[in-house]
Amino acid sequence: MKILKLMAAAIVLAGCSGQPTAHKTAANANRAKLNVELTSDDNITSGHVISLTFSGADTTAIDSARATIDGRKFRFANGSTQIEIPTIGMPVGQKTIRVEAWTGNGEVAEGRARICIKSDIEPERLTYKVKKQVPHNPRYYTQGLEFDGDILYEGTGLEGRSAVYKIDFEKQSVITSADLANNYFGEGVTIMGGKLYQLTWRSCIGFIYNKQTLNKLGEFNYSTEGWGLTNNGLELIMSDGTEKIQFIDTTTLQVTRTIEVYDTEGPVNELNELEFVDGLIYANIYCTDNIVAIDPESGKILKIIDMRNLLDESKLTQRVDVLNGIAYQKTTGRWFVTGKLWPTMFQVEFVGK
Ligand SMILES: [Ca+2]
């Protein structure tokens, strides 16, 4: 009978433990280990090829082997312990490559390697022009900003001051609002299917409201911090302060997939307030003047918009915090940007540098 040498060794070792009947089961549960070695760099650019080889098994006993990355499977040529895996079409980010090898009797050996894929796209560099300035309540610690027709919804943070506001944008008047309990720090908001969803920062809980009345309809949970929120009409799209963006099914309220956001240098973290426009996720990056546009499939950054000097702080008498809040009004094609405690909301146009 053909058998992997390491598998045989595992069974022999198990035999020394004095539990003969459990040998096979234990060996199968703890698969024999393959050493997987990258022969290409472990930090590569999207589009390049991952090369790897494995060892640690009797290769003459192996009937077939495959590598799995991001759920995609690549079969090794018969008898080969080397493979080249194209990365075209793969999302960027940290990946685990799993290699499995089978013998004729179905026994398996397994090993893993880690790799990081960076973006191959040099982002378009943009800046802005201010078209108009409108007042913004300087008491609002803006964490979520989104239009629904003529209505602007704004979610605010800080413990004891967190709320969500439904605002008649033209009249600049609050139609209704809902306060969060004092122990919650409000974060991103988004409107989908007649409901408003709101995140909290570190409480791992989100709230669901009727968008008309702001009466609370329910809650949902997540395992990370909550930062920005938007949606693509099908799923909620959420940032958590890292380079990751999670997609949440609104029926099950479970995370369905996650992307990692990278530029050509590496991961871009602290993605904060979000806006989904024309198939791209826009995110302002915490404590910077940058808004980035992200491909929601690959995680690659396609545009970087430099928002430096948007708010002239020299004339301000009150304290302000960082830029946070992007809202695109679909009905008029207007972009608005503001910040935490800013007295002004800016209608802007993004232009080439
Ligand atoms: Ca937004």
CA–centroid distance, residue 280 to ligand 1 (Å)? 12
For the stretch 250-302, pLDDT in tens is 999 999 999 999 999 999 999 999 999 999 999 999 999 999 999 999 999 99
Taking Cα atoms as reference points, which of 234, 225, 193, 192 lies closest to residue 206? 225
pTM to 2 decimal places: 0.89
Instruction: Using alpha carbons, select from 1, 34, 27 the residue that is nearest to residue 13.
Output: 27
Residues 244 and 328 in one domain: yes
Q: Which residues contact 40 (CB under 8 A, 6 or more apart)?
A: 48, 49, 50, 51, 52
Residue 6 has pLDDT above 50, yes or no: no
pLDDT number for residue 18: 33
The reply to whether 50 and 12 lie within a common domain is yes
Residue 319 shares a structural domain with residue 228? yes
Q: Domain end: 118, 148, 175, which one?
A: 118
Number of compact structural domains in the chain: 2
Are both 187 and 206 inside the same structural domain?
Answer: yes
Which amino acid, one-letter code, is at 121? I
Same domain, 241 and 128: yes
Distance 90 CA to ligand 1 centre (A): 27
**Ligand 1: centre distance to CA 136 (Å):** 15
Same domain, 112 and 142: no
* Mean pLDDT to the nearest integer, 15-44: 66
| CA–centroid distance, residue 238 to ligand 1 (Å) | 11
| CA 160 – ligand 1 centroid, Å | 22
Cα–ligand 1 centroid distance for 215 (angstroms): 21
Q: Tell me, what CATH number does 31's domain have?
A: 2.60.40.10
Same domain, 23 and 164: no
Q: What is the mean pLDDT of the chain?
A: 92
Residues bordering ligand 1, an ion, CB closer than 5 Å: 145-146, 275, 326
| Residue 233, CB-side half-sphere exposure with 13 Å CA sphere | 4
Does residue 111 sit in the same domain as residue 142?
A: no
Between the CA of 145 and the centroid of ligand 1 the distance, in Å, is 4
Average pLDDT (18-33) is 52
Domain of 108? Answer: 5-118
Is the domain of 325 the same as that of 195? yes
- Residues 14-35, mean pLDDT to the nearest whole number: 52
- Are both 103 and 177 inside the same structural domain? no
Stretch among 16-20, 66-70, 338-342 having the lowest mean pLDDT: 16-20
Q: In whole angstroms, what is the distance from residue 10 CA to residue 4 CA?
A: 10
Q: What is the largest CA-CA distance in the chain?
A: 84
| CATH number of the domain bearing residue 212 | 2.120.10.30
CA of 95 to the centre of ligand 1 (A): 29
Q: Cα angle at 314 between 321 and 323, to 5 degrees?
A: 25
- CA of 86 from ligand 1 middle (Å) equals 36
- Of the chain, the percentage scoring pLDDT greater than 90 comes to 86
pLDDT at residue number 30: 65
Q: How far is the CA of 26 from the centre of ligand 1 (A)?
A: 52
Q: Decide which of 118, 133, 168 is a domain's last residue.
A: 118
Least confident window among 13-22, 25-34, 108-117, 188-197: 13-22
Q: How far is CA 79 from CA 83, 109, 314, in A?
A: 11, 15, 71
In this structure, the answer to whether residues 208 and 323 fall within a common structural domain is: yes
What is the DSSP annotation of 23-77?
A: HHHHHHHSPEEPEEEESS-SEEETTSEEEEEEESS-GGGEEEEEEEETTEEEEPP
pLDDT above 90: residue 14: no
Report the separation in Å between the CA atom of 35 and the middle of ligand 1, taken as the mean of its atom positions. Answer: 46
- Same-domain status, 34 and 75: yes
Question: In the listed set 118, 137, 153, which residue is the last one of a domain according to the structure?
Answer: 118
47-99 per-position pLDDT tens digit: 999 999 999 878 788 999 999 999 999 999 999 999 999 999 999 999 999 99
Cα of 252 vs centre of ligand 1, distance in Å, is 23
Distance 226 CA to ligand 1 centre (A): 14
